[in-house]
Chains A and B, each alone.
Chain A
């Protein structure tokens, strides 16, 4: 054994920190930093002329230019300003609504349970994108309405999860002990049941985050989300589809979406290993 291996401080990589998890964290961090700083360092303004129309990638325009001569690279980076905040808001609202209703259903049971869970069943009977399309179309196109539609499509998933968790944990002995020692229903629910319910919801919400980004982009791609001059990934790919023989127009936004979906998939896997080591 050499001296160096004895004296060097040994870094213990935790078991969950696999290569995919680290990669996912790096990608997610990149996009968060981009979200906060993009206006300082992109080479061009995302809505202004930045060169010839349809220029293929060059040293001036790394990912070429689109039909209006705007820089695809800058626009792809700016797209994060639409997608990330929307996905955060949608996941936040869906988890909140779903968790509250799911907890009520699981804890109260009876008629409340029946009503909430039938609403869940009906909502989950639709293909997600079809329901999101129909809701957005009836609310009127636009990113805000698309976000509302996505919350409507997504909350039942968390309601189901939460209800199952509450049902399982309600039967545990420490809850029985709390009830026996005279704790009221609200105290039992908030102090003894809910704190133990969160890990599967956090894991699922992390994995779903990428799917929400994808769904938002799909709605914009269809033409129900972002309005044209805004740099938005789905919208940009839909412009790229009109000129599919110029591959670079859709390449930036496509890669951006793919990277986010993959990153949150990996992160969700890692979180599951941390929060619920038994699932391995």
Chain B
């Protein structure tokens, strides 16, 4: 087990290097001319402008040279300058990270609450109508395009019912709360501004619901499975024989034992949520890294695309590593010898 952990930790930097290399190669074996997107179509005939741009972005060096320069810059946290925003990519990403994290954490809460509730219900009413309904609801959540479910939620709760605000992170007429954590909900509470908190929280609900629903299924399947496992064991029979109520058995005995696997599956869902955030942010005009990635891809903004791809890959790798290690810590039976590894 220690050997496995050590191996995972050693391969981690190598995989990261692989991620960086792929991202770098991608941006350079490109059909679209990055020059055009810096200079603009009209100026492409102007030699002086083109030359200046080439020198400024290092586009006239050889590929290995560019790669080494890029690696060296990465080590100092320099991802280059975005063609589109004219800002350092790292600065853009840092400025947008809190919005994405706030959304992903809220979505994770939604996924956890709905997943555990549905999972417990499904296990309790195994193979009955409630079970089927709970499983269908979870399955639809993981099958529906999040960029459509987001629109449905917007239409129902914002347009038709008018209960919740439309896209965005805050009402445009309200100023952002003073920066502490970057989470508008938390920062507005720290500033003691209740109405701003309500505005930020209500803006967060719909995107969090849309994104969270995509992982409801992963969580509820896990909860249902482990609850059913636990419910068959002797100590449950013993508890029942001693007269414990069904509710008490479900929540105190079974759910408690299903708790740890559920916690680790949430780590797994984090990787999913990073992915889903890209599309959810686009629908809800959420100013996070996901909508930044989409804008960069649309605008062929190469430094920004590489930056987001590397950061996304790193986050994905870390989330998966954390989940695997958590599994190991929680369930020593999972000996990841040869068969499931690789």
Contacts and interface: CB of A to CB of B under 8 A. Distances in A.
Interface of A: 117-118, 121-123, 125-131, 133-140, 160, 163-164, 210, 214, 217-218, 221-224, 234, 237-238, 240-241, 244-245, 247, 250, 253-254, 257-258, 261-262, 265
Contacts, number: 148
- Complex A-B, nearest 4 residue pairs according to Cβ-Cβ distance, in ascending order: A254-B148, A122-B18, A138-B30, A261-B143
Contact of A241 (B31, B283, B308): B283
A256 to B, nearest CB: 10
Contacts of B283: 241
Contacts of B22: 122-123, 126, 131
Nearest to B278: A129
A136 B297 contact: yes
Nearest to A263: B143
A122 B19 contact: yes
B18 A130 contact: no
A254 B313 contact: no
B305 A257 contact: no
Interface string B24-44: 001101111000000000000
Nearest to A245: B159
Contacts of B133: none
8 contacts: A135-B26, A221-B282, A222-B279, A224-B298, A238-B147, A247-B151, A254-B144, A254-B145
Contacts of B317: 125
Contacts of B151: 237, 240-241, 244, 247, 250, 254
Given A127-B274, A138-B27, 19 more contacts: A122-B22, A130-B293, A130-B308, A130-B312, A133-B294, A133-B297, A134-B305, A140-B30, A221-B145, A221-B147, A223-B298, A238-B147, A241-B283, A244-B154, A244-B159, A250-B148, A253-B148, A254-B152, A257-B148
Contacts of B278: 127, 129-130, 133
Nearest to B300: A137
B159 to A, nearest CB: 5
Contacts of A164: 339
Contacts of B30: 137-140
A168 B29 CA distance: 38
A74 B99 CA distance: 39
Contacts of B155: 244-245, 247
B285 to A, nearest CB: 10
Contacts of A140: 30-32
Interface residues of B, number: 50
B180 interface: no
B143 A265 contact: yes
B300 A257 contact: no
From DSSP, what is the main secondary structure of chain B's interface residues?
Answer: helix
B275 interface: yes
Name the residue in B15, B147, B271, B317 with the highest tally of chain A Cβ atoms < 10 Å from its Cβ.
B147
Given A139-B30, A237-B147, A241-B147, A125 B297 contact: no
Contacts of B19: 122, 125-126
Nearest to A118: B18
A25 to B, nearest CB: 17
A280 to B, nearest CB: 14
A135 B26 CA distance: 6
Contact of A127 (B26, B159, B298, B312): B312
A108 to B, nearest CB: 15
Nearest to B27: A138
B71 interface: no
Contacts of A257: 144-145, 148
Contacts of A135: 26
A258 B283 CA distance: 18
A258 B149 CA distance: 10
B59 to A, nearest CB: 14
Contact of A125 (B275, B316, B342): B316
Contacts of A123: 22
A148 B6 CA distance: 36
Contacts of A126: 19, 22, 309, 312-313, 316
A134 B26 contact: yes
Interface in B78-103: none
A241 B294 CA distance: 15
Contacts of A241: 147, 151, 282-283
B222 interface: no
A125 B313 CA distance: 6
B140 interface: yes
Contact of B316 (A127, A136, A137, A222): A127
A258 B145 contact: yes
B15 A121 contact: yes
Contacts of B325: none
Contacts of A139: 30-31
B15 A125 contact: yes
A253 B149 CA distance: 12
A129 B279 contact: yes
B25 to A, nearest CB: 9
